[in-house]
Structure 1
Protein backbone atom coordinates (compact mmCIF):
# COMPACT_ATOMS: atom_id res chain seq x y z
CA UNK A 1 0.00 0.00 0.00
CA UNK A 2 1.91 3.02 -1.29
CA UNK A 3 1.65 6.35 0.50
CA UNK A 4 3.26 9.78 0.24
CA UNK A 5 3.53 12.74 2.59
CA UNK A 6 3.09 16.26 1.21
CA UNK A 7 3.50 18.69 4.08
CA UNK A 8 0.65 17.87 6.45
CA UNK A 9 -1.24 15.90 3.80
CA UNK A 10 -0.92 12.12 3.43
CA UNK A 11 -1.94 10.37 0.20
CA UNK A 12 -2.45 6.59 0.14
CA UNK A 13 -3.09 4.39 -2.89
CA UNK A 14 -5.79 1.71 -2.63
CA UNK A 15 -5.59 -0.67 -5.59
CA UNK A 16 -8.71 -2.23 -7.04
CA UNK A 17 -7.07 -4.06 -9.95
CA UNK A 18 -4.07 -4.09 -12.26
CA UNK A 19 -4.96 -3.22 -15.84
CA UNK A 20 -2.47 -4.42 -18.46
CA UNK A 21 -3.42 -2.93 -21.81
CA UNK A 22 -2.04 -4.04 -25.19
CA UNK A 23 0.24 -1.32 -26.48
CA UNK A 24 -1.53 -1.48 -29.84
CA UNK A 25 -4.49 0.30 -28.17
CA UNK A 26 -2.30 3.41 -28.38
CA UNK A 27 -1.33 3.14 -32.07
CA UNK A 28 1.78 5.31 -31.84
CA UNK A 29 3.21 3.14 -29.02
CA UNK A 30 5.23 0.85 -31.26
CA UNK A 31 8.12 -1.12 -29.77
CA UNK A 32 10.54 1.17 -31.58
CA UNK A 33 8.92 4.30 -30.18
CA UNK A 34 8.67 2.92 -26.64
CA UNK A 35 12.32 1.81 -26.60
CA UNK A 36 13.38 5.40 -27.21
CA UNK A 37 12.24 6.05 -23.61
CA UNK A 38 14.20 3.45 -21.62
CA UNK A 39 12.96 4.96 -18.36
CA UNK A 40 9.57 3.33 -19.07
CA UNK A 41 11.08 -0.08 -18.23
CA UNK A 42 10.45 -2.17 -16.19
CA UNK A 43 7.70 -0.38 -14.24
CA UNK A 44 5.45 0.89 -17.02
CA UNK A 45 5.98 -1.29 -20.11
CA UNK A 46 6.48 -5.06 -20.37
CA UNK A 47 9.90 -6.27 -21.44
CA UNK A 48 8.46 -7.53 -24.75
CA UNK A 49 7.04 -4.04 -25.47
CA UNK A 50 3.55 -5.51 -25.96
CA UNK A 51 1.84 -4.32 -22.76
CA UNK A 52 1.32 -0.91 -21.24
CA UNK A 53 1.01 -1.43 -17.49
CA UNK A 54 -1.82 0.48 -15.84
CA UNK A 55 -3.64 0.31 -12.52
CA UNK A 56 -7.13 1.10 -11.29
CA UNK A 57 -6.88 2.63 -7.84
CA UNK A 58 -8.37 5.20 -5.52
CA UNK A 59 -6.33 7.79 -3.67
CA UNK A 60 -7.07 8.53 -0.03
CA UNK A 61 -6.09 12.08 0.89
CA UNK A 62 -5.86 12.93 4.57
CA UNK A 63 -5.50 16.65 5.26
CA UNK A 64 -6.04 18.58 8.50
CA UNK A 65 -9.70 18.09 9.39
CA UNK A 66 -10.50 16.31 6.12
CA UNK A 67 -10.60 12.80 4.69
CA UNK A 68 -11.01 12.84 0.91
CA UNK A 69 -11.29 9.98 -1.60
CA UNK A 70 -10.22 10.84 -5.15
CA UNK A 71 -11.83 8.58 -7.77
CA UNK A 72 -13.69 5.46 -6.69
CA UNK A 73 -12.64 2.88 -9.29
CA UNK A 74 -15.05 0.40 -10.91
CA UNK A 75 -16.84 -1.05 -7.91
CA UNK A 76 -18.21 -4.51 -7.21
CA UNK A 77 -21.29 -6.17 -8.66
CA UNK A 78 -21.48 -4.30 -12.01
CA UNK A 79 -20.62 -5.89 -15.34
CA UNK A 80 -18.57 -3.40 -17.33
CA UNK A 81 -16.77 -3.54 -20.65
CA UNK A 82 -13.49 -2.80 -18.89
CA UNK A 83 -13.89 -6.00 -16.84
CA UNK A 84 -14.93 -8.19 -19.75
CA UNK A 85 -18.59 -7.67 -18.82
CA UNK A 86 -18.05 -9.62 -15.61
CA UNK A 87 -18.84 -8.05 -12.22
CA UNK A 88 -15.94 -7.53 -9.85
CA UNK A 89 -15.83 -8.93 -6.33
CA UNK A 90 -12.74 -7.28 -4.88
CA UNK A 91 -11.75 -6.62 -1.23
CA UNK A 92 -11.62 -2.89 -1.87
CA UNK A 93 -13.46 -1.96 1.33
CA UNK A 94 -11.23 -4.27 3.38
CA UNK A 95 -8.21 -2.48 1.92
CA UNK A 96 -9.80 0.82 2.90
CA UNK A 97 -10.09 -0.48 6.45
CA UNK A 98 -6.50 -1.71 6.41
CA UNK A 99 -5.45 1.87 5.63
CA UNK A 100 -7.20 2.97 8.82
CA UNK A 101 -10.23 4.46 7.06
CA UNK A 102 -13.93 3.69 7.42
CA UNK A 103 -16.86 4.30 5.09
CA UNK A 104 -18.46 6.61 7.65
CA UNK A 105 -15.22 8.55 8.18
CA UNK A 106 -14.94 9.90 4.63
CA UNK A 107 -15.81 13.59 4.43
CA UNK A 108 -15.51 14.26 0.69
CA UNK A 109 -15.40 12.22 -2.51
CA UNK A 110 -14.08 13.75 -5.74
CA UNK A 111 -14.62 12.20 -9.17
CA UNK A 112 -12.10 13.69 -11.60
CA UNK A 113 -14.56 12.74 -14.35
CA UNK A 114 -17.55 10.48 -14.90
CA UNK A 115 -16.13 7.33 -16.47
CA UNK A 116 -16.95 3.88 -15.13
CA UNK A 117 -13.51 3.32 -13.57
CA UNK A 118 -13.68 6.53 -11.53
CA UNK A 119 -17.14 6.41 -9.96
CA UNK A 120 -17.92 2.78 -9.10
CA UNK A 121 -17.46 2.80 -5.34
CA UNK A 122 -19.58 5.92 -5.07
CA UNK A 123 -22.23 3.30 -4.32
CA UNK A 124 -22.50 -0.31 -3.23
CA UNK A 125 -25.19 -2.93 -3.59
CA UNK A 126 -27.15 -3.51 -0.36
CA UNK A 127 -30.33 -5.60 -0.31
CA UNK A 128 -30.67 -5.18 -4.06
CA UNK A 129 -30.39 -1.38 -3.93
CA UNK A 130 -27.52 0.91 -4.89
CA UNK A 131 -26.71 2.99 -1.82
CA UNK A 132 -23.93 5.53 -1.14
CA UNK A 133 -20.76 3.79 0.01
CA UNK A 134 -19.70 6.83 2.03
CA UNK A 135 -22.91 7.90 3.75
CA UNK A 136 -21.54 11.03 5.46
CA UNK A 137 -19.51 12.37 2.53
CA UNK A 138 -20.11 15.23 0.13
CA UNK A 139 -19.65 13.90 -3.39
CA UNK A 140 -18.17 16.61 -5.61
CA UNK A 141 -19.13 16.24 -9.27
CA UNK A 142 -18.06 18.68 -11.95
CA UNK A 143 -21.05 20.64 -13.21
CA UNK A 144 -19.84 20.63 -16.83
CA UNK A 145 -19.04 16.92 -16.63
CA UNK A 146 -22.43 16.03 -15.18
CA UNK A 147 -24.36 18.07 -17.71
CA UNK A 148 -22.51 16.40 -20.59
CA UNK A 149 -22.93 12.79 -19.47
CA UNK A 150 -26.50 13.19 -18.24
CA UNK A 151 -27.73 13.38 -21.83
CA UNK A 152 -25.17 11.05 -23.42
CA UNK A 153 -26.73 8.12 -25.27
CA UNK A 154 -24.05 5.46 -24.67
CA UNK A 155 -25.76 2.52 -22.96
CA UNK A 156 -22.97 1.65 -20.54
CA UNK A 157 -22.50 5.29 -19.62
CA UNK A 158 -26.19 5.57 -18.81
CA UNK A 159 -26.04 2.36 -16.76
CA UNK A 160 -23.15 3.89 -14.81
CA UNK A 161 -25.07 7.10 -14.23
CA UNK A 162 -27.97 5.01 -12.94
CA UNK A 163 -26.08 2.85 -10.47
CA UNK A 164 -23.11 5.05 -9.48
CA UNK A 165 -24.24 8.68 -9.77
CA UNK A 166 -28.02 8.97 -9.49
CA UNK A 167 -28.17 7.29 -6.03
CA UNK A 168 -25.88 9.91 -4.49
CA UNK A 169 -28.09 12.68 -5.87
CA UNK A 170 -31.17 10.87 -4.58
CA UNK A 171 -29.53 10.72 -1.14
CA UNK A 172 -28.80 14.45 -1.18
CA UNK A 173 -25.04 13.90 -1.01
CA UNK A 174 -23.98 15.24 -4.42
CA UNK A 175 -22.71 18.75 -5.04
CA UNK A 176 -22.08 20.15 -8.52
CA UNK A 177 -18.88 22.22 -8.58
CA UNK A 178 -16.85 24.29 -11.01
CA UNK A 179 -13.54 23.31 -12.58
CA UNK A 180 -11.49 25.37 -10.10
CA UNK A 181 -13.37 24.44 -6.92
CA UNK A 182 -11.46 24.86 -3.65
CA UNK A 183 -12.00 21.94 -1.28
CA UNK A 184 -9.84 23.01 1.66
CA UNK A 185 -6.88 25.33 2.33
CA UNK A 186 -4.59 22.55 1.06
CA UNK A 187 -6.64 21.02 -1.77
CA UNK A 188 -8.21 22.42 -4.91
CA UNK A 189 -9.37 21.27 -8.32
CA UNK A 190 -7.74 22.47 -11.52
CA UNK A 191 -9.16 22.23 -15.06
CA UNK A 192 -7.60 19.49 -17.22
CA UNK A 193 -10.20 19.10 -19.95
CA UNK A 194 -9.86 17.01 -23.08
CA UNK A 195 -10.18 13.43 -21.93
CA UNK A 196 -13.72 14.47 -21.05
CA UNK A 197 -15.39 17.90 -21.31
CA UNK A 198 -15.32 18.63 -17.58
CA UNK A 199 -12.22 16.73 -16.47
CA UNK A 200 -10.32 18.03 -13.44
CA UNK A 201 -7.10 17.17 -11.68
CA UNK A 202 -6.46 17.63 -7.96
CA UNK A 203 -3.76 19.96 -6.62
CA UNK A 204 -2.37 19.65 -3.12
CA UNK A 205 -0.22 22.28 -1.40
CA UNK A 206 0.91 22.10 2.20
CA UNK A 207 3.85 23.61 4.10
CA UNK A 208 5.59 24.58 0.88
CA UNK A 209 5.24 21.15 -0.74
CA UNK A 210 3.08 20.35 -3.77
CA UNK A 211 1.46 17.33 -5.41
CA UNK A 212 -0.84 16.76 -8.36
CA UNK A 213 -3.27 13.87 -8.84
CA UNK A 214 -3.65 13.54 -12.59
CA UNK A 215 -6.98 11.83 -13.17
CA UNK A 216 -7.04 10.74 -16.81
CA UNK A 217 -5.42 13.81 -18.31
CA UNK A 218 -2.66 11.22 -18.78
CA UNK A 219 -3.26 7.49 -18.59
CA UNK A 220 0.34 6.35 -18.89
CA UNK A 221 3.82 7.86 -18.37
CA UNK A 222 4.65 7.37 -22.06
CA UNK A 223 2.41 10.38 -22.66
CA UNK A 224 5.02 12.53 -20.95
CA UNK A 225 7.46 11.69 -23.72
CA UNK A 226 4.64 12.01 -26.24
CA UNK A 227 1.86 14.36 -25.08
CA UNK A 228 0.29 13.91 -28.52
CA UNK A 229 -0.34 10.18 -27.95
CA UNK A 230 -4.07 9.76 -27.41
CA UNK A 231 -5.82 7.15 -25.29
CA UNK A 232 -9.62 7.37 -25.37
CA UNK A 233 -9.75 11.16 -25.23
CA UNK A 234 -13.11 12.73 -26.03
CA UNK A 235 -11.44 15.83 -27.51
CA UNK A 236 -7.93 14.78 -28.61
CA UNK A 237 -6.80 18.29 -29.52
CA UNK A 238 -7.79 19.70 -26.13
CA UNK A 239 -6.28 16.69 -24.33
CA UNK A 240 -2.93 17.18 -26.07
CA UNK A 241 -2.92 20.86 -25.15
CA UNK A 242 -3.74 20.00 -21.52
CA UNK A 243 -0.95 17.44 -21.26
CA UNK A 244 1.56 19.80 -22.83
CA UNK A 245 0.51 22.65 -20.55
CA UNK A 246 0.46 20.75 -17.26
CA UNK A 247 3.62 18.73 -17.89
CA UNK A 248 5.41 22.00 -18.69
CA UNK A 249 4.01 23.55 -15.51
CA UNK A 250 5.13 20.62 -13.35
CA UNK A 251 8.47 19.95 -15.06
CA UNK A 252 11.66 20.46 -13.06
CA UNK A 253 9.60 21.58 -10.08
CA UNK A 254 9.30 19.90 -6.67
CA UNK A 255 5.77 18.80 -7.56
CA UNK A 256 5.00 15.17 -6.83
CA UNK A 257 2.87 13.85 -9.70
CA UNK A 258 0.62 10.93 -8.77
CA UNK A 259 -0.82 9.09 -11.74
CA UNK A 260 -4.38 7.91 -11.33
CA UNK A 261 -3.66 4.96 -13.63
CA UNK A 262 0.11 4.70 -13.18
CA UNK A 263 1.16 1.34 -11.68
CA UNK A 264 3.70 1.19 -8.86
CA UNK A 265 5.70 3.26 -8.09
CA UNK A 266 2.83 5.53 -9.30
CA UNK A 267 4.33 8.85 -8.16
CA UNK A 268 7.34 10.80 -9.29
CA UNK A 269 8.49 14.04 -10.85
CA UNK A 270 8.23 15.39 -14.38
CA UNK A 271 11.61 16.24 -15.86
CA UNK A 272 12.27 18.04 -19.13
CA UNK A 273 13.79 15.72 -21.72
CA UNK A 274 14.56 17.40 -25.02
CA UNK A 275 11.36 18.84 -26.47
CA UNK A 276 9.19 16.73 -24.15
CA UNK A 277 9.38 15.15 -20.70
CA UNK A 278 10.16 12.00 -18.74
CA UNK A 279 8.96 10.60 -15.43
CA UNK A 280 11.57 10.36 -12.68
CA UNK A 281 10.60 7.92 -9.91
Structure 2
Protein backbone atom coordinates (compact mmCIF):
# COMPACT_ATOMS: atom_id res chain seq x y z
CA UNK A 1 0.00 0.00 0.00
CA UNK A 2 2.88 2.35 0.68
CA UNK A 3 3.82 2.16 -3.02
CA UNK A 4 0.47 3.51 -4.21
CA UNK A 5 0.39 7.21 -5.11
CA UNK A 6 -1.82 9.42 -2.99
CA UNK A 7 -4.52 9.94 -5.62
CA UNK A 8 -4.93 6.19 -6.17
CA UNK A 9 -5.06 5.48 -2.45
CA UNK A 10 -7.67 8.19 -1.95
CA UNK A 11 -9.70 6.61 -4.76
CA UNK A 12 -9.57 3.22 -3.03
CA UNK A 13 -10.75 4.79 0.21
CA UNK A 14 -13.95 5.90 -1.50
CA UNK A 15 -15.14 2.30 -1.23
CA UNK A 16 -14.57 1.96 2.51
CA UNK A 17 -17.39 2.31 4.99
CA UNK A 18 -17.52 5.44 7.13
CA UNK A 19 -16.31 3.75 10.32
CA UNK A 20 -13.50 1.92 8.50
CA UNK A 21 -12.45 5.13 6.81
CA UNK A 22 -12.23 6.98 10.11
CA UNK A 23 -10.26 4.08 11.58
CA UNK A 24 -7.64 4.60 8.86
CA UNK A 25 -6.59 7.76 10.68
CA UNK A 26 -4.74 5.52 13.13
CA UNK A 27 -2.76 3.54 10.52
CA UNK A 28 -0.07 6.09 9.73
CA UNK A 29 0.36 9.81 9.26
CA UNK A 30 0.10 9.54 5.48
CA UNK A 31 -2.91 7.20 5.45
CA UNK A 32 -4.57 9.22 8.18
CA UNK A 33 -4.31 12.40 6.13
CA UNK A 34 -5.75 10.68 3.05
CA UNK A 35 -8.62 9.27 5.12
CA UNK A 36 -9.79 12.86 5.56
CA UNK A 37 -9.22 13.87 1.94
CA UNK A 38 -12.34 15.39 0.29
CA UNK A 39 -12.19 12.83 -2.54
CA UNK A 40 -12.91 10.06 -0.02
CA UNK A 41 -15.99 11.84 1.32
CA UNK A 42 -17.65 14.05 -1.29
CA UNK A 43 -19.95 11.28 -2.61
CA UNK A 44 -21.20 10.07 0.79
CA UNK A 45 -24.74 10.41 2.13
CA UNK A 46 -25.18 10.60 5.88
CA UNK A 47 -28.69 9.84 7.10
CA UNK A 48 -30.37 10.13 10.43
CA UNK A 49 -33.35 7.93 11.11
CA UNK A 50 -35.02 5.36 8.87
CA UNK A 51 -34.03 6.67 5.44
CA UNK A 52 -32.50 4.09 3.12
CA UNK A 53 -29.54 4.26 0.79
CA UNK A 54 -27.25 6.16 3.12
CA UNK A 55 -23.61 5.39 3.77
CA UNK A 56 -24.35 5.54 7.47
CA UNK A 57 -27.53 5.75 9.52
CA UNK A 58 -27.74 7.02 13.07
CA UNK A 59 -30.46 5.96 15.47
CA UNK A 60 -32.05 7.85 18.37
CA UNK A 61 -29.16 7.43 20.75
CA UNK A 62 -26.15 8.03 18.58
CA UNK A 63 -24.30 11.23 18.04
CA UNK A 64 -23.21 12.51 14.64
CA UNK A 65 -20.67 14.95 16.06
CA UNK A 66 -17.56 12.72 15.72
CA UNK A 67 -18.21 12.22 12.01
CA UNK A 68 -19.23 15.81 11.32
CA UNK A 69 -16.20 17.20 13.13
CA UNK A 70 -13.76 15.03 11.17
CA UNK A 71 -15.23 14.51 7.68
CA UNK A 72 -14.43 17.41 5.32
CA UNK A 73 -17.58 17.11 3.20
CA UNK A 74 -20.51 14.90 2.19
CA UNK A 75 -23.02 14.85 -0.65
CA UNK A 76 -26.14 14.63 1.54
CA UNK A 77 -26.85 15.23 5.20
CA UNK A 78 -30.36 14.08 6.07
CA UNK A 79 -31.89 14.72 9.45
CA UNK A 80 -35.28 13.08 9.94
CA UNK A 81 -35.67 12.82 13.73
CA UNK A 82 -36.35 16.45 14.47
CA UNK A 83 -39.03 16.25 17.16
CA UNK A 84 -36.64 16.38 20.10
CA UNK A 85 -33.21 17.60 21.09
CA UNK A 86 -30.49 15.21 20.04
CA UNK A 87 -27.61 14.33 22.37
CA UNK A 88 -25.39 16.54 20.25
CA UNK A 89 -25.44 19.94 18.57
CA UNK A 90 -25.09 19.60 14.82
CA UNK A 91 -24.60 23.33 14.38
CA UNK A 92 -21.61 23.73 16.69
CA UNK A 93 -18.74 25.80 15.35
CA UNK A 94 -16.56 22.69 15.58
CA UNK A 95 -18.56 21.06 12.77
CA UNK A 96 -16.40 21.25 9.66
CA UNK A 97 -18.29 18.78 7.44
CA UNK A 98 -19.80 20.74 4.54
CA UNK A 99 -22.84 19.14 2.88
CA UNK A 100 -23.92 19.80 -0.69
CA UNK A 101 -27.53 18.91 0.08
CA UNK A 102 -29.67 18.84 3.25
CA UNK A 103 -32.96 17.01 3.84
CA UNK A 104 -34.97 18.10 6.89
CA UNK A 105 -38.39 17.53 8.46
CA UNK A 106 -39.83 20.51 10.32
CA UNK A 107 -42.52 20.01 12.97
CA UNK A 108 -44.04 22.29 15.58
CA UNK A 109 -41.78 21.00 18.37
CA UNK A 110 -38.60 21.06 16.30
CA UNK A 111 -35.32 21.91 17.99
CA UNK A 112 -33.85 25.30 17.13
CA UNK A 113 -30.63 23.40 16.38
CA UNK A 114 -32.12 22.48 13.00
CA UNK A 115 -32.26 26.09 11.86
CA UNK A 116 -28.76 26.69 13.22
CA UNK A 117 -27.61 23.66 11.25
CA UNK A 118 -28.92 25.24 8.04
CA UNK A 119 -27.18 28.53 8.79
CA UNK A 120 -23.95 26.79 9.75
CA UNK A 121 -23.94 24.74 6.55
CA UNK A 122 -24.53 27.93 4.59
CA UNK A 123 -21.48 29.49 6.24
CA UNK A 124 -19.35 26.49 5.24
CA UNK A 125 -20.06 27.44 1.62
CA UNK A 126 -20.84 24.13 -0.07
CA UNK A 127 -24.61 23.89 0.42
CA UNK A 128 -26.49 23.98 -2.91
CA UNK A 129 -29.82 22.21 -2.33
CA UNK A 130 -32.28 22.17 0.57
CA UNK A 131 -35.20 19.74 0.71
CA UNK A 132 -37.65 20.43 3.54
CA UNK A 133 -40.95 18.96 4.70
CA UNK A 134 -43.17 21.38 6.65
CA UNK A 135 -45.46 19.13 8.69
CA UNK A 136 -48.74 20.28 10.24
CA UNK A 137 -48.43 23.49 12.23
CA UNK A 138 -44.67 23.78 11.77
CA UNK A 139 -42.91 27.12 12.43
CA UNK A 140 -42.78 28.01 8.76
CA UNK A 141 -41.53 31.59 9.09
CA UNK A 142 -38.48 30.54 11.13
CA UNK A 143 -37.77 27.71 8.70
CA UNK A 144 -37.90 29.94 5.64
CA UNK A 145 -35.76 32.61 7.29
CA UNK A 146 -33.06 30.00 7.88
CA UNK A 147 -33.28 28.79 4.28
CA UNK A 148 -33.05 32.29 2.85
CA UNK A 149 -29.92 32.99 4.88
CA UNK A 150 -27.96 30.57 2.68
CA UNK A 151 -25.97 32.24 -0.09
CA UNK A 152 -25.41 30.49 -3.40
CA UNK A 153 -28.36 28.09 -3.09
CA UNK A 154 -29.30 26.52 -6.44
CA UNK A 155 -32.24 24.30 -5.49
CA UNK A 156 -35.09 24.65 -2.99
CA UNK A 157 -37.70 21.91 -2.54
CA UNK A 158 -40.41 22.36 0.10
CA UNK A 159 -43.34 20.03 0.73
CA UNK A 160 -46.14 21.15 3.05
CA UNK A 161 -47.88 18.21 4.70
CA UNK A 162 -51.33 19.14 5.96
CA UNK A 163 -52.70 17.44 9.06
CA UNK A 164 -56.36 17.62 10.19
CA UNK A 165 -56.77 20.14 13.00
CA UNK A 166 -53.20 21.41 12.64
CA UNK A 167 -53.28 24.11 10.00
CA UNK A 168 -50.07 25.41 8.50
CA UNK A 169 -49.41 29.08 9.16
CA UNK A 170 -49.28 31.41 6.19
CA UNK A 171 -45.79 31.71 4.76
CA UNK A 172 -45.13 35.42 4.25
CA UNK A 173 -43.43 36.92 1.24
CA UNK A 174 -39.76 37.45 2.04
CA UNK A 175 -36.90 39.34 0.47
CA UNK A 176 -34.47 36.76 -0.88
CA UNK A 177 -31.29 38.49 -2.09
CA UNK A 178 -29.18 35.52 -0.99
CA UNK A 179 -30.91 33.28 -3.56
CA UNK A 180 -29.73 35.12 -6.65
CA UNK A 181 -28.34 31.80 -7.95
CA UNK A 182 -31.57 29.81 -7.52
CA UNK A 183 -32.27 27.57 -10.53
CA UNK A 184 -34.66 24.87 -9.27
CA UNK A 185 -37.77 25.66 -7.22
CA UNK A 186 -40.14 22.94 -5.98
CA UNK A 187 -42.99 23.90 -3.64
CA UNK A 188 -46.39 22.66 -2.49
CA UNK A 189 -48.74 25.40 -3.70
CA UNK A 190 -51.67 26.42 -1.51
CA UNK A 191 -53.43 29.46 -0.04
CA UNK A 192 -50.97 29.54 2.85
CA UNK A 193 -47.94 29.55 0.55
CA UNK A 194 -49.18 31.68 -2.38
CA UNK A 195 -47.48 34.91 -1.26
CA UNK A 196 -44.17 33.19 -0.58
CA UNK A 197 -44.18 31.25 -3.85
CA UNK A 198 -44.99 34.39 -5.81
CA UNK A 199 -42.20 36.34 -4.12
CA UNK A 200 -39.68 33.67 -5.13
CA UNK A 201 -40.95 33.51 -8.72
CA UNK A 202 -40.92 37.28 -9.17
CA UNK A 203 -37.55 37.96 -7.54
CA UNK A 204 -35.75 35.16 -9.36
CA UNK A 205 -37.49 35.24 -12.72
CA UNK A 206 -34.13 35.67 -14.48
CA UNK A 207 -32.39 32.65 -12.91
CA UNK A 208 -34.93 29.88 -12.23
CA UNK A 209 -34.92 27.15 -14.89
CA UNK A 210 -37.10 24.43 -13.33
CA UNK A 211 -40.32 24.94 -11.37
CA UNK A 212 -42.51 22.26 -9.77
CA UNK A 213 -45.70 23.37 -8.04
CA UNK A 214 -47.91 20.65 -6.59
CA UNK A 215 -51.52 21.40 -5.69
CA UNK A 216 -54.64 19.28 -6.08
CA UNK A 217 -57.12 20.66 -3.54
CA UNK A 218 -59.94 22.90 -4.76
CA UNK A 219 -58.49 25.77 -2.71
CA UNK A 220 -55.15 25.36 -4.50
CA UNK A 221 -56.65 25.43 -7.98
CA UNK A 222 -58.41 28.77 -7.43
CA UNK A 223 -55.19 30.78 -7.06
CA UNK A 224 -55.01 33.39 -9.81
CA UNK A 225 -51.77 35.28 -9.16
CA UNK A 226 -49.15 32.59 -9.85
CA UNK A 227 -49.59 31.71 -13.53
CA UNK A 228 -48.89 35.25 -14.84
CA UNK A 229 -45.59 35.24 -12.94
CA UNK A 230 -44.56 31.97 -14.56
CA UNK A 231 -45.02 33.58 -17.97
CA UNK A 232 -42.43 36.27 -17.17
CA UNK A 233 -39.58 33.86 -16.35
CA UNK A 234 -36.92 34.29 -19.00
CA UNK A 235 -35.00 31.03 -18.39
CA UNK A 236 -37.80 28.65 -17.47
CA UNK A 237 -37.18 25.32 -19.24
CA UNK A 238 -39.28 22.84 -17.25
CA UNK A 239 -42.60 23.40 -15.49
CA UNK A 240 -44.76 21.02 -13.46
CA UNK A 241 -47.96 22.45 -12.03
CA UNK A 242 -51.73 21.98 -11.73
CA UNK A 243 -54.21 23.63 -14.10
CA UNK A 244 -54.01 27.07 -12.54
CA UNK A 245 -56.29 29.92 -13.69
CA UNK A 246 -54.58 31.93 -16.42
CA UNK A 247 -52.01 29.25 -17.19
CA UNK A 248 -52.43 29.91 -20.92
CA UNK A 249 -50.16 32.92 -20.42
CA UNK A 250 -47.23 30.54 -20.03
CA UNK A 251 -47.41 29.86 -23.77
CA UNK A 252 -45.58 33.17 -24.21
CA UNK A 253 -42.55 31.83 -22.36
CA UNK A 254 -40.10 31.20 -25.22
CA UNK A 255 -37.58 29.24 -23.14
CA UNK A 256 -40.10 26.63 -21.93
CA UNK A 257 -39.38 23.17 -23.33
CA UNK A 258 -41.19 20.74 -21.00
CA UNK A 259 -44.60 21.07 -19.35
CA UNK A 260 -46.06 18.51 -16.94
CA UNK A 261 -49.64 19.51 -16.28
CA UNK A 262 -51.63 17.79 -13.51
CA UNK A 263 -55.33 17.84 -14.32
CA UNK A 264 -58.05 16.74 -11.88
CA UNK A 265 -61.29 15.32 -13.23
CA UNK A 266 -62.93 16.96 -10.22
CA UNK A 267 -61.96 19.36 -7.48
CA UNK A 268 -60.89 17.55 -4.34
CA UNK A 269 -61.62 18.16 -0.70
CA UNK A 270 -58.90 17.31 1.84
CA UNK A 271 -60.40 13.85 2.55
CA UNK A 272 -60.80 13.13 -1.17
CA UNK A 273 -57.19 14.15 -1.75
CA UNK A 274 -56.03 11.61 0.86
CA UNK A 275 -58.17 8.87 -0.68
CA UNK A 276 -56.80 9.60 -4.15
CA UNK A 277 -53.40 8.42 -2.92
CA UNK A 278 -54.83 5.08 -1.71
CA UNK A 279 -57.13 4.14 -4.58
CA UNK A 280 -57.49 4.93 -8.27
CA UNK A 281 -56.52 8.58 -8.48
CA UNK A 282 -58.63 11.09 -10.45
CA UNK A 283 -55.43 13.01 -11.17
CA UNK A 284 -54.18 12.88 -14.75
CA UNK A 285 -50.68 14.05 -15.62
CA UNK A 286 -50.18 15.47 -19.11
CA UNK A 287 -46.60 15.51 -20.38
CA UNK A 288 -45.79 17.96 -23.18
CA UNK A 289 -42.41 18.72 -24.70
CA UNK A 290 -41.29 21.24 -27.28
CA UNK A 291 -38.26 21.10 -29.53
CA UNK A 292 -36.21 23.89 -31.05
TM-score of the superposition, structure 2-length normalised? Answer: 0.28
Structure index of larger Rg: 2
TM-score of the superposition, structure 1-length normalised? Answer: 0.29
Q: Which structure is higher in RCO with an 8 Å CA cutoff and minimum separation 6?
A: 1
